[in-house]
């Protein structure tokens, strides 16, 4: 009986519903799913507006940019919040089903902790919760993304000494100041990894007359993108379609021109951090001199971003270990301590 109960509890999950990637953590097992937050839809062109889900996650990503007219690959959370509720709901249900045990009679996890971006509205939070309930969960708790990131990065969130986390995802950059287990300050801006990709493809089109896809722009960012001249990473050959004659063409681009192109977008991230420092109560802001700032999320992997932040804030800035996993780990820890550390959770939403 005890074993059965334990098995039941251990199927509880935590979900990092990111704009770029969705990760699922299972109690006792760790991270068991890590897939792009993407959905491939068959679009009904008959004017009925019908859409059928063809693939979700990794399977949908491989179709990106290569689909025939009637298939569309969408990122339902693209702008940091739910851009397309129906598709988001289907995606959540799909991932929950995918990790649910087939053997247990009641296969849907009874308890689910899901993280939500700080900037999401009450309606959006309710919608995320409802989607998980509709998938069969008995209990759903929400946790703010910045709080999850801080827990996952190993920050002393319970301590009265404040710490700052900056989570740079695909759609949003979340800035949070945490003290005594709560978020003292939270802000979310819609400038993050996707914006950097956009800026890169605009630059390549304007400067070199070459059209490139989203995937190429992201590849450029990862390979030669950098936020600081001290982390220059040479050159790269890219392929695309010429805007002049429409023919495929390859060119060589440099790390320094990409850095220049990224400047304004990165400056907006820096401003969000400076604003957080300005709006945090003085005693807590003073704590940051010792505790510094920790960067999480995939965007934290941009070369030299920590140096740029260090130079602009004069604080000690570090990149968390496995930045792409921090939020999922943090959600998971909140799940594991559901009974004793309720303070993390976003109870009134």
> Euclidean distance between the first and final Cα of the chain, in Å?
34
Nearer to ligand ADP, 55 or 320 (CB): 320
> Nearest Cα to 185, choosing from 293, 311, 318?
293
Task: Characterise 246 by phi-psi region: left (phi > 0), alpha (psi -120 to 50), beta (else).
Answer: left
Closest distance to ligand ADP from the beta carbon of 183 (Å): 17
In terms of DSSP H, where are the helices of 209-336?
Answer: 214-224, 255-279, 282-291, 305-313, 326-336
Partner from Mg ion, ligand ADP, none binding residue 221, C-beta < 5-8 Å depending on class: ligand ADP
| Piece of 154-162, 220-228, 271-279, 306-314 that binds ligand ADP (CB under 6 A) | 220-228
310-349 mask for Mg ion (x: CB under 5 A)? -----------------x----------------------
Which of 36, 76, 169, 304 touches Mg ion (CB under 5 A)? Answer: 169
Q: Which residues in the 135-194 window bind ligand ADP by CB under 6 A?
A: 169-171, 193-194
DSSP state of 180: T
Rg of the chain (C-alpha set): 21
Residue 258, SS3? helix
Place of tokens 């009974």: 339
For the chain, helix, strand, coil in percent to 5 are 40, 25, 30
Partner from ligand ADP, Mg ion, none binding residue 228, C-beta < 5-8 Å depending on class: none
Count of residues that bind Mg ion according to CB under 5 A: 3
Partner from Mg ion, ligand ADP, none binding residue 349, C-beta < 5-8 Å depending on class: none
Q: Contact residues for Mg ion (CB under 5 A)?
A: 18, 169, 327
Q: Contact residues for ligand ADP (CB under 6 A)?
A: 18-21, 169-171, 193-194, 218, 221-222, 225, 297-299, 301-302, 324
């Amino acid at each position: 009986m005890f074993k059965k109960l334990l098995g039941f509890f251990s199927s509880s999950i935590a979900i990092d519903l990111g704009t770029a990637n969705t990760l699922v953590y299972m109690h006792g097992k760790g991270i068991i799913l890590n897939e792009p937050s993407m959905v491939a839809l068959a679009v009904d062109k008959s004017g009925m507006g019908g859409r059928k889900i063809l693939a979700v996650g990794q399977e949908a990503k491989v179709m990106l940019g290569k689909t025939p007219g009637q298939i569309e690959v969408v990122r339902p959370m693209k702008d940091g919040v739910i851009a397309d509720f129906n598709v988001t709901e289907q995606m959540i249900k799909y991932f929950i089903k995918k990790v649910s045990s087939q053997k247990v009679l009641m296969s849907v996890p009874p308890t689910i902790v899901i993280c939500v971006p700080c900037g999401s509205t009450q309606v959006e939070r309710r919608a995320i919760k409802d989607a998980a309930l509709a998938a069969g969960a008995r209990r759903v708790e929400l946790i703010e993304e910045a709080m999850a990131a801080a827990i996952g990065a190993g920050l002393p969130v319970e301590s009265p000494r404040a710490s700052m986390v900056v989570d740079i995802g695909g759609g949003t950059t979340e800035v949070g100041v945490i003290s005594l287990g709560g978020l003292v300050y939270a802000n979310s801006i819609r400038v993050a990894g996707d914006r950097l990709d956009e800026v890169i493809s605009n630059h390549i089109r304007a400067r070199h007359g070459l059209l490139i896809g989203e995937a190429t722009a992201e590849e450029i960012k990862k390979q030669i993108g950098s936020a600081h001249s001290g982390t220059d990473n040479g050159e790269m050959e890219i392929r695309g379609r010429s805007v002049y004659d429409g023919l495929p063409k390859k060119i060589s681009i440099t790390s320094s021109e990409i850095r220049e192109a990224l400047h304004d977008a990165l400056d907006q991230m820096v401003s969000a951090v400076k604003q957080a420092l300005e709006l945090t109560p003085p005693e807590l802001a003073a704590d940051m001199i010792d505790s510094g700032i920790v960067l999480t999320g995939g965007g934290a992997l941009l070369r030299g971003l920590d140096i740029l932040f260090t130079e602009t804030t004069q604080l000690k800035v570090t990149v968390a270990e496995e930045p792409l996993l921090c939020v999922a780990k943090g959600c998971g820890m909140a799940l594991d301590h559901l009974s004793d550390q309720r303070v993390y959770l976003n109870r009134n939403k």
